[in-house]
Amino acid sequence: MNEQQQLNYHRIADAIHFVRENFKKQPSLGDIAESVHLSPYHFQRLFSDWAGVSPKKFIQYTSVEYAKRLLKEQQATLLDAASQTGLSGTGRLHDLFISIEGMTPGEFKNKGARLSINHSFAESPFGKLLVASTAKGICHMAFIEDEKEALEVLKGRFANAVHQEYFDCLQQGALSVFQGDRNQLDQVKLHLSATPFQLKVWNALLKIPEGRLSTYGDIAKRIASPRASRAVGTAVGSNPVAFLIPCHRVIRASGNIGGYAWGDIRKTAMIGWEASRQ
């Protein structure tokens, strides 16, 4: 790292610290830029390059994370959460949650309340799976090593839902994709809670043909955000439905297989299996 890069790194670190200390005041771009002695224009570009998101989006992320802690740990009301986060009202809190979490503050606080979730364990060519569904579609599918731990993860995502072990037709349809029925994938219904950005990324993943690979940069261009490769990587990594949303088809621009939530070896095997079926 040369001298200029070191200087930029420290400026961004200072800016992040400033936001975390002052987000309740909802500082403007100018306020943050001034704290690190840069013009708003220069700071906007520098921060976006280093952090992968704009300063405005970073403030929003910080605000929502704080509001989530208030709602979850302190059981705060929506009005109190908005006020303590420095937002103008519950409407602003609602809009931020929809934009960043893909759900309303009330839905986050309820954490799956009034949802009935069926789950089952199944074998696949790539190991054991936990698959779960609501009345609307598949909400969770993950490769697992330990059934108890995997079930705890599922119940942590939907803590207030009613869970039962039951193999339904939605799960049956989802698992049939491992049995050579390529057309079945188009019929699988998903029930996902996600941000608009995550949904755009996951939809782009669904368009990668079986047996083909794409890069994070390719996905960023496909969703008209060519500078958002890092954010794309985060969205790919947060995919809650293994294989059906084919994040395993995304590799690094260097050709390196890259990471995978369910293991690099499994990812390599899946890529090879799909290529052999062409």
Query: Which residues belong to the active site?
Result: 247
Return the half-sphere exposure (C-beta side, CA atoms, 13 A cut-off) of residue 92: 16
Task: Look at residues 245, 269, 249, 271 and name the one whose alpha carbon lies nearest to residue 126.
Answer: 269
Strand partners, 250: 214
- The whole-angstrom separation of Cα 234 and Cα 245 is 14
DSSP 209-277: PTT--EEHHHHHHHTT-TT-HHHHHHHHHT-SBTTTS-GGGEE-TTS-----TT-HHHHHHHHHHHHHT
